[in-house]
Amino acid sequence: MRIGQLAQLVGVETQTIRFYEQQGLLPPPDRQDNGYRVYTEKYGEGLAFIRRCRILGLSLAEIHELQSYQDDPHQPCTAVNALLDDHISHVRSQITALQALEKQLVSLRASCNDDREVEACGVLAGISEGNMHQQ
């Protein structure tokens, strides 16, 4: 299987596969005589794992960490679970921050009812004067 087929199979771009390889998240595959990469189907599982981690918002560094745990399967999984707990709390604090931001934006938006000139726009005035009641 060549890189294009693997890419299609997993649903990534070929460059992304090369990028992961370069970053050390995927092992260098065998090469044909012409230099083309050759992959087994099993290789695709590793790639799919990375993609699912990315969909879960894990960073490449976190994925790398998970892989290192997989390489040592008889250790207790405390670190794996802790990594996920950390990530969950990252996500939660992002949500909190964005919710506060949304509130601010909505109240700013409420300060203008279209149909004004830019000069008198409540939104621009609100930002300019800094009446951004924080939090």
Partner DNA sequence: TAAAACTATAAAGCTACTATAAGGTCAATA
Partner DNA sequence: TATTGACCTTATAGTAGCTTTATAGTTTTA
Q: Does 72 bind its own copies (CB under 8 A)?
A: yes
Instruction: Give the separation between CA 38 and CA 29, rounded to whole angstroms.
Output: 6
Q: Does 120 bind its own copies (CB under 8 A)?
A: yes
Nearer to its own copies, 8 or 15 (CB): 8
Tokens 């590793």 found at: 46
List the single partner that 110 binds among its own copies, Zn ion, DNA, none, CB under 5 to 8 Å by kind: none
List the single partner that 100 binds among Zn ion, its own copies, DNA, none, CB under 5 to 8 Å by kind: none
List the single partner that 35 binds among Zn ion, its own copies, DNA, none, CB under 5 to 8 Å by kind: DNA
Tokens 């800094």 found at: 130
List the single partner that 5 binds among its own copies, Zn ion, DNA, none, CB under 5 to 8 Å by kind: DNA
Q: Does 66 bind its own copies (CB under 8 A)?
A: yes
| Nearest-10 crossing angle of helices 41-55, 60-70 | 130
Q: Which residues make Cβ contacts (< 8 Å) with residue 94, sequence separation at least 6?
A: none
91: left (phi over 0), alpha (psi -120 to 50) or beta: alpha
Instruction: Give the separation between CA 28 and CA 86, rounded to whole angstroms.
Output: 30
> By C-alpha distance, which of 70, 58, 59 is closest to 27?
70
**Which residue ranges make up the site for its own copies (CB under 8 A)?**
45, 48-49, 52-53, 55-57, 66, 69-70, 72-78, 80-81, 84-85, 87-88, 91-92, 94-95, 98-99, 101-102, 104-106, 108-109, 112, 114-121, 123-124, 127-128, 130, 132
